[in-house]
Structure 1
Amino acid sequence: MTSLQGKVVFITGAARGIGAEVARRLHNKGAKLVLTDLGKAELAGIAAELGGDDRLLTVVADVRDLPAMQAAADQAVEKFGGIDVVVANAGIGSYGSVLQVDPEAFKRVLDVNLLGVFHTVRATLPSVIERRGYVLIVSSLAAYTACPGLAPYNATKAAVEIFANALRLEVAHRGVSVGSAHMSWIDTALVRDTRADLPAFSELLTRLPWPLNKTTSVNKCAVAFVKGIEGRKSRVFCPGWVG
């Protein structure tokens, strides 16, 4: 198991939910953190919560913007000397059937969930290779279990799983490990807000068979992520039955 003391971890979607909780746990283990997200105030909030010490760098950046992600990676290298671990966590969803979903909303899910992962990895990978590090790409149970109304989300999560598999083959000889994380429903703002705003989505969850109709806490998910990072796992599952 790899010690995270002093390791530099670059996290997207770090201002809340899974990303923020992973950041808390990694900070407690002595890691240096590069936290990126869209919300300046939210990033400032998590940084203040963690003490605002010299082991933290926050960067407002949109994963859809490759130059912005490159600038974030460059700042990380300038401040900490390199990047050991990347957690490509930023993601969004859009609920609606293929006939109903707004095409622009569909495209935005693709841009954030798929291109955003590519941009994150492209910007950080040279430094990760230098340090023979680890990349964790956040996929989902949705990568291999389709759900009506979630076609764009399903498509992107399947795509990033295969992206992770291809990347693993490309960089293994450089000493870099690559993992993908697969979760069922996690009690994040994304899931809660969608349930509140869309009765059809809430009804869908109640009709799914056990255990697909259950949600898992963000804390439990973050524990699984940290264990996966420490073990440089090729797969991270939460809850365990997903795997």
Structure 2
Amino acid sequence: MTAFTGKVALVTGGARGIGAEVARRLRARGARLVLIDNDSAPLRELAVELGGEEHVVAVSADVCDLAAVENAVARGVERFGGIDIVVANAGISSYGSVLTVDPAAFRRVVEVNLIGSFHTVRAALPSIAERRGYVLIVSSIAAYVAMPGLAAYDATKAGVEQFANALRLEVAHLGVGVGSAHMSWIDTSLVREAHADVPASVRARATMPRPLRKAIPVRECAARFERGIERRAERINVPAWAGVLRWLRPLLHTPLVERVSGRAVPTWLSDMDAEVVGLGRSLSARVQALGKSRPASE
């Protein structure tokens, strides 16, 4: 028996990266899973890997579609009796400065990262409240410190942190725990695709303080998520020192610090914008293709 034996966990963005690895870890400790992703092929493969229909309900759906998320939750509740844990993990990022980013891509980031988190919580909350469960909303250290060229990502990750804070106050009396996760660079397809598409992003990363440059393995990140979910943590920081940035946030955005930290921005931001214009898109090819398909459910 483990803390997750018999529990039911809903994970969005569950087909790859952090979501998939968290799903593996929870399943290994006895949880049953409801996985949502709009990337159907890897989602099906993961469901088979984790034991198939006996243990996993896998639904190909877009978190921007509330009805589709509600359908996925209903299928999980019908199959397993309820939802105990939510990991609102689905997230994307765009490329380019505010003057260059494709407005449709900016909007898509807001829809997936912020509205998608709301849809996930809204659909699952009745069951979570009934079971006095736990909700983890995946933010980023971008909620603590802004990163030029990633304004949509920054804004949505700050937004979901505050969404988690408000939700925690709303549901505490129901016995529901709410946490937010704040990660530095994680070695996911999101990061790898960005660096391949926009080489200037690699140079931008190199200008950051040394601890902020390191890419953390997905397994290490998922292990911290697992421990945080078990503790019903209010915040999960990956790596642990990232939590210091939360307390330094007022200082990091003072005029003096912004002037010093922003000195390197002109050396790479114009190159990033030129690369984005050359690409003809502000999302990775994979994310853009998935956004165009937008399956409701299957």
Distance in 2 (alpha carbons) for counterparts of 1:146 and 1:86: 27
Runs of 4+ in structure 1 deviating by more than 3 angstroms, as ranges, are none
Aligned-CA RMSD value = 0.8
* Higher alpha-carbon Rg: 2
Partner of 2:197: 197
Partner of 2:74: 74
Matched, 1:186 2:193: no
Q: Higher helix proportion, which one? A: 2
Distance in 2 (alpha carbons) for counterparts of 1:154 and 1:49: 34
Distance in 1 (alpha carbons) for counterparts of 2:53 and 2:119: 28
Structure 2: 5+ residue stretches without partners: 244-298
Deviation readout 1:159-200 (Å, 9 max, x if unpaired): 000000000000000000000000000000000110011011
Partner of 1:118: 118
Structure 1: 5+ residue stretches without partners: none
Partner of 2:296: none
Partner of 1:57: 57
How far residue 53 of structure 1 moved from its aligned partner, in angstroms, is 5.0
Percent of aligned positions with the same letter in both sequences? 63
Tell me the number of residue pairs that the alignment of Structure 1 and Structure 2 aligns.
242
Distance in 2 (alpha carbons) for counterparts of 1:170 and 1:51: 36
Q: How does 1:203-218 map to 2 (within 5 A)?
A: 203-218=203-218
Distance in 2 (alpha carbons) for counterparts of 1:83 and 1:59: 15
Distance in 2 (alpha carbons) for counterparts of 1:50 and 1:135: 22
How far residue 202 of structure 1 moved from its aligned partner, in angstroms, is 1.1
Partner of 2:144: 144
Distance in 2 (alpha carbons) for counterparts of 1:73 and 1:26: 18
How far residue 132 of structure 1 moved from its aligned partner, in angstroms, is 0.2
Partner of 2:282: none
Name the amino acid aligned to 2:228.
Answer: G
Distance in 2 (alpha carbons) for counterparts of 1:124 and 1:48: 24
TM-score (norm 2): 0.80
Matched, 1:31 2:13: no
TM-score (norm 1): 0.98
Partner of 1:106: 106
How far residue 123 of structure 1 moved from its aligned partner, in angstroms, is 0.3
Partner of 1:219: 219
How far residue 208 of structure 1 moved from its aligned partner, in angstroms, is 1.1
Partner of 1:88: 88
Distance in 1 (alpha carbons) for counterparts of 2:189 and 2:199: 16
Q: Secondary structure at the match of 2:135?
A: strand
How far residue 51 of structure 1 moved from its aligned partner, in angstroms, is 2.7
